[in-house]
Amino acid sequence: MTSKKAEEIHRENPDALVVGADTVVVLNENILGKPRDHEEAYSMIRQLAGKIHHVLTGVSIKYGSMEDRFVSVSQIRFYSWDEQMEREVRAYVDSGKANDKAGAYGIQEEAGLWVESIEGDYNNIVGLPIAELNKRLNKLIKTV
């Protein structure tokens, strides 16, 4: 999907440097995309409680005839479900913030309170692994 998005924009703007990115949450080999409604958002977060899951962000860079693609992976463990998390998740889901996020949460929002540990790039979890993107852009531009 990321590559297709970047390709479409690049076709319309052939002289531009185009970066496309998509993020998904994976729990036990199941992809958790954006929830359809509040119930699904609540269910997704409930499933993540007390478990390790992975956030994968696929990135596609297009510049002239050059292209680079990569996937960044981060591992997150949420705290176990308890009454406090129940209240916080209900309020978060009711606020509508979960609606447009893979896995129904944004770590940069209230959901950061549910995180017990992280391995990998925090910015990847937010949605764009900026450090790796910076390295790859620098390498790509040096070849021009």
Residues 6+ apart with CB under 8 A from 68: 60, 61, 136, 139, 140
58 and 38 Cβ atoms separated by less than 8 Å: no
Quick one: which of 83, 63, 46 has its CA closest to 139?
63
Helix (H) or strand (E) holding 60: strand 52-63
The residue from 22, 68, 100, 121 that is catalytic is 22
**Residue 37 is a catalytic residue:** no
DSSP for residue 105: -
120 and 73 Cβ atoms separated by less than 8 Å: yes
List helix spans (H) across the chain. 2-12, 38-48, 83-95, 122-126, 130-142
Any idea which residues carry the catalytic annotation?
22
